[in-house]
Amino acid sequence: MFDVDFLVDRVFPQLNAGLWMSVKLIVPSAVFGLLFGVIIGIVRVFGKPWMQRVANAYTALFRGVPLLVQLFILYFGLPNIGIYLEPYAASVLGFILCSAAYNSEYVRGALLSIRQGQLSAAQALGFSTMQTLVSIVVPQAVRRALPGCGNEVVYLIKYSSLAYVITCIELTGEAKVLASRTFRFTEVFLVVGAYYLFLVTVASWLLHKVEERFHIPGFGRPRQ
Amino acid sequence: MATPESVITSGTPILRLENIGKTLGGKRILSDISMDVDKGELKVLIGPSGAGKSTLLQCINYLIPPDEGHIRLEGRVVDAARKSDLYAFRQQVGMIFQDFNLFDHLDALNNVSIALRKVRGMSRKAAAERAMAELERVGLANRATLYPAQLSGGQKQRVAIARALAMDPKVMLLDEPTSALDPELVGEVLAVIRDLARGGMTMVMASHQMDFTRALAHEILFMERGSIIERGSPAELLAPGSGTRTADFCSRLTDLCEECS
């Protein structure tokens, strides 16, 4: 069934281009999704009441609406109010907003797990609320949230495939085009599956390295 | 050893509580608590569980803001509504907690130095040197790179004491510092506190360590249901046949300890 010439001449070159686009979608989405997720998570736990309400509403909205619908709104809906986004920009924006909503939930859980006593100790030493957050709470919460946020990165790698629906042709998009032209769906999509598996493996390995790098005794052991 | 008579009580007390009251959830936790703490004095709060000792200590540095009354440090009323005033006040009042409350993500040295860097604005190097000196003072210089999860309870509490001392507090508040410790670890912590007392540190301590209190306290304050109902020197309150609530409570405490052992 496998035709080596077809793979080497057609599948790999076209899919590699798609892979590169996927990476360009995933990396900024993961980085900013995590960053905003941390900020939103902090606001949801320590913000003023009105800020908490806004952040909670944000999370409810972006977790509650299917990502594909969000992408459609960003790409096809926003032009109605005069905002035109390139397919790439709309995809990255959609991924960041969605990823941040999920990450904020992991961060919120981690923040709530920090013992109240440490906050009292910091206050007793003269820390301001902001200093307590930055120096005591966040460094611990991020460590506790890492496994969950890593999970979110793995999801992101896979839901990045939705970008092709709004014409940002990445890995899955290229595969769809190639398969439609050649009718060799089996080969093409098996290779695509392997590509995604490869991306997830690399991401898992990197996340493991990060967990190891920031490991502190008493914060659980990273996988051996 | 310092005795109550040797304390100079003239001049302004270093810490003064004026009619402190606190109500939480409709329940009166503290009512009309007043006390003067002079420089170098060790006051010990004693009383049954739920008497309000812990709440009182946390009211003193506004971790639980009192509803009524004033707190004066060296004669000046603390204006807790002004954040900068409050933070400056807290830096001068060290607090030791029953369950240590070390920062879990920092090693012993950084637990002590972080407030010097972040609150005092000291350089990393100067803060580390000062922190090391404080760890030496509590006998833990060789544990500086260990994290809280790697320390015993007694070691954690000694790091917590070093952390408070590094800020050069004028007063230390100690909330049952040995209650969460295994019996064999109590001694090492009490030894550090005893050295502080002998060195002239002003302290208010909630404690059930009666031998320690008898030997070192200048005044015992017996609390029950949010009020101070007896106060006096250990000699007065704990004398056999004195018939005080304090003596009664302490003898029951001693009986209990003997039953346990």
What residue of B is the nearest CA neighbor of A144?
B105
Quote the CA–CA distance of B52 and B59 in Å, as a whole number.
10
When CB atoms are compared, the residue of A122, A131, A216 closest to B105 is A216
Do B172 and A124 contact (CB within 8 A), yes or no? no
- Average pLDDT rounded to a whole number, residues B234-258: 78
CATH of the domain at B205: 3.40.50.300
Which residues constitute the domain of residue B92? Answer: 4-260
A169-196 as b/e: b if 16+ CB within 10 A? bbbbbbbbebbeeeebeebbeebbeebb
Cα of A140 to nearest chain B Cα, Å: 6
Quote the CA–CA distance of A56 and B28 in Å, as a whole number.
35
* B99, B176, B186 from B181: Cα distances, Å: 9, 10, 6
pLDDT tens digit sequence for A25-54: 999 999 999 999 999 999 999 999 999 999
When CB atoms are compared, the residue of A124, A128, A217 closest to B83 is A128
Cα of B210 to nearest chain A Cα, Å: 26
What residues of chain B have any CB closer than 8 angstroms to a CB in chain A? 58, 61, 63, 83, 87-88, 90-91, 93-95, 97, 99-105, 114-115, 118-119, 146-150, 160, 163-164, 167
Cα of B160 to nearest chain A Cα, Å: 9
What residue of B is the nearest CA neighbor of A127?
B119
Quote the CA–CA distance of B94 and B169 in Å, as a whole number.
5
What average pLDDT does chain B have?
Answer: 89
pLDDT-based confidence at A103, cuts 50/70/90? very high
pLDDT tens digit sequence for B66-79: 999 999 999 889 88
Quote the CA–CA distance of A202 and A26 in Å, as a whole number.
13
Residue B133's φ and ψ, nearest 5 degrees, are -60, -40
pLDDT tens digit sequence for B101-123: 999 999 999 999 999 999 999 99
- DSSP 8-class letter at A165: G
In chain A, the domains with their CATH numbers are 4-213 (1.10.3720.10)
How many domains in chain B? 1
pTM value is 0.83
ipTM computed for the complex: 0.88
Q: Is A218 on the interface with B (CB under 8 A)?
A: yes
pLDDT-based confidence at B10, cuts 50/70/90? low
Residue A9 has pLDDT above 90, yes or no: no
Our measurement of the distance from residue B173's CA atom to the centroid of its chain's CA atoms, rounded to an integer in Å, reads 3
Quote the CA–CA distance of B42 and B205 in Å, as a whole number.
7
Residue A220: its pLDDT value, please? 67
Strands B27-37 and B15-24: antiparallel
Tokens for B209, please give them.
Answer: 């360590």
- Average pLDDT rounded to a whole number, residues A194-214: 93
